[in-house]
Structure 1
């Protein structure tokens, strides 16, 4: 008798459970999978056999015996394929090639100042090609491409608005998919950064966190109850455009006095230019950090002032979301020695006592590619979902 649609759905769900348990608890035995999942041993054995045939999992050495024969242990086959993650910054592009567990095989980062949407697409295309050329031979090849964009990305992976890039309603997903014939995921870069920190960085084992991406602008990614919070249309996390100065400068978004105008890389550079610490030709955050390293008092003062402004917005986030941890990443994280304690002190002094019992504010490692890892992880998840769906036969 042919399986019914409900039976097919149940099998897919059970197979997903088995694979997730192997990914999470590897090395793990079939018996332990049955115990943790509540599935009977026969079902587990059948599903494990299918996953081995599909090269998504592997049998490894024997485990520890609990009284009988030593069990055969199972692990996720992280070398079954590769994925590419692109962090598209306003003034840089960072690309990584990873295996299916997020281990970085190749990394490429370079300064890039886009002049048009078409020019940016061409550069992304070239970077992807270069990363693909470094990929090892694997059963599934490049399983997906993820791109983190600094703007509002809807639930259909369309970049609705990226004011710091000058983009509006841009169809980057379709163009890249057509060029490489590989599934593409587009995500807001701060959302991707939050997920990258949650999976691989300072957010491990944290249920509720906020990631603040501090580049030319400010974006925030929110994790609630271990899940990325996107909002009803995918537009959550635009804290960079809360008003902290109602009489302030006009933002590229059209509003006045936005947080990102006073607590981002652009503010640091603007102040350094006003004080003639740098020139227009070489103005970047690395130059100001280098000046601070050489104990330039003006550069240090700019970074500390920026840290105070950063703390203002973080206090609002603490009061609004009450997270366990707030992680500051992207470009300003390189100024951690001069900014982190100032931010922490400001939050301690200004946030309500009731909200301070758990929250920790930390700066990420500037070399940690949180956004690129996050979109790469999204691509792997989409690949595994597609693989499990394909493995369930359809019946008339």
Structure 2
């Protein structure tokens, strides 16, 4: 066998072994051999290498039977840390996770302008602070992934961020030069899809995620890979026209979906209708609970247009799972059932329609999961997140 082939097979085996250890949480060498179908000799050699690198650790499992306690293998979750960043208009959010994707530190920084140099300085300062927090671990800060609310090219150049008015920005290159850590840039909707797969839907390799916040974005995961299109711009579903000759959109077209079914458009329309400024989701929830007629009418209109777009998405992608990221819908009783009742086409097929379970941290968590994937060199990490699992080890 050529040496190149042998090295490639060794790399594949390593990836498979790490994936199964992460998936199981704790697993013995014998069981690892069974689930991977690799020989005991291969398992022994790979495990020895991973132990030497501090990627995995050995522990003795409690054992009530007579005989030697089994030695269990698990990922060394404190060997390194991943930094996920959500770069949004007016605010940058940071989440640092261990190698199992559990957050160990979080922070938010308000930004008061859109100047690139100023925001780059904020990012560099905060990243260096997180680097210092990770110095005690074997691998330190293993990487950074940043959620971008705009268009990112396949070679990770920011093509355009509408709300920041950034065009052709080499943020990845500038950050890597400044902080000396690997940086990955990804569209926020793509990271939502990655977070849902990595943290929740471990058995689904094909899912579609829609975020309804400032605009509408689409993240597409097919066979565990993000589908980005030729230039990286796939998923700008908010600019699908749902109302011919409708409202003028900033993109230049009329009747775009996000003018009718994004949370920002809903808040704008309801605020104008009720003559209330700075309307919050909490206020809307209270209005819905007290059966306010105008609020309920606006919600019905919102769901009407949302369903039109969802019907198109379902017919185009035939997803196994369709996930919606929306704080508004999470506060509206029976919102999913109301949407399903509007999806009455006999040819629209999907298995599940859900509200995102990762909520506001979805983009940062997806970013952390992406960094972990690259560091461990695995196809997809199966992680677990809930607010109760958050640690404060690095405070």
Aligned equivalents of 2:7, 2:246: Cα separation in 1: 58
Corresponding residue to 2:362 among 370, 383, 387: 370
Alpha-carbon contact 1:106-1:134 (below 8 Å) kept = no
Q: Secondary structure at the match of 2:241?
A: coil
Alpha-carbon contact 1:98-1:106 (below 8 Å) kept = yes
2:330 is the alignment partner of 1:336: yes
Aligned equivalents of 2:304, 2:90: Cα separation in 1: 24
- How many residues in Structure 1 have an aligned counterpart in Structure 2? 377
Q: Which residue of 1 aligns with 2:342?
A: 349
2:297 is the alignment partner of 1:301: yes
2:103 is the alignment partner of 1:104: yes
State the 1:124 CA deviation.
3.2
Unmatched tracts of structure 1, length 5 or more: 387-396
Aligned equivalents of 1:59, 1:198: Cα separation in 2: 28
Aligned equivalents of 2:344, 2:166: Cα separation in 1: 36
The answer to which of 252-261 and 46-55 deviates more is 252-261
State the 1:284 CA deviation.
5.5
Alpha-carbon contact 1:208-1:224 (below 8 Å) kept = yes
Cα distance per residue 1:3-33 (max 9 Å; x no partner):
9333222222222222222122231122222
State the 1:116 CA deviation.
2.9
> Where do 1:31-46 residues align within 5 Å?
31-46=30-45
State the 1:328 CA deviation.
1.3
The answer to which of 32-41 and 239-248 deviates more is 32-41
State the 1:53 CA deviation.
0.6
Shift >6 Å, 4+ stretches: 63-68
State the 1:113 CA deviation.
5.8
Aligned equivalents of 1:222, 1:5: Cα separation in 2: 33
Aligned equivalents of 1:173, 1:14: Cα separation in 2: 31
Alpha-carbon contact 1:265-1:285 (below 8 Å) kept = no
Cα distance per residue 1:214-243 (max 9 Å; x no partner):
111111111223433223432222211111
> Cα RMSD (Å) of the superposition?
2.9
State the 1:132 CA deviation.
4.4
Q: Which residue of 2 aligns with 1:156?
A: 155
Alpha-carbon contact 2:152-2:232 (below 8 Å) kept = yes
Q: Secondary structure at the match of 1:196?
A: helix
The answer to which of 210-219 and 128-137 deviates more is 128-137
Q: Which residue of 2 aligns with 1:253?
A: 251
Q: CA distance change for structure 1 residues 177 and 299 in 2, over 3 Å: closer, same or farther?
A: farther
> Where do 1:318-337 residues align within 5 Å?
318-329=314-325, 332-337=326-331
Greater RCO structure (CA 8 Å; 6+ sep): 2
The answer to which of 72-81 and 268-277 deviates more is 268-277
The answer to which of 157-166 and 107-116 deviates more is 107-116
Q: Secondary structure at the match of 1:231?
A: coil
Aligned equivalents of 2:177, 2:300: Cα separation in 1: 46
Alpha-carbon contact 2:311-2:348 (below 8 Å) kept = no
Q: Secondary structure at the match of 2:250?
A: coil
Alpha-carbon contact 2:210-2:323 (below 8 Å) kept = yes
> Where do 1:43-192 residues align within 5 Å?
43-62=42-61, 70-109=69-108, 112=111, 114-132=113-131, 134-135=133-134, 137-192=136-191
Q: CA distance change for structure 1 residues 131 and 268 in 2, over 3 Å: closer, same or farther?
A: farther
Alpha-carbon contact 2:33-2:40 (below 8 Å) kept = yes
Aligned equivalents of 1:251, 1:176: Cα separation in 2: 33
Q: CA distance change for structure 1 residues 21 and 343 in 2, over 3 Å: closer, same or farther?
A: closer
State the 1:149 CA deviation.
0.4
Unmatched tracts of structure 2, length 5 or more: 379-395
State the 1:378 CA deviation.
0.9
State the 1:134 CA deviation.
4.8
Alpha-carbon contact 1:324-1:359 (below 8 Å) kept = yes
> Where do 1:242-321 residues align within 5 Å?
242-279=240-277, 282=278, 285=281, 288-289=284-285, 292=288, 296-321=292-317
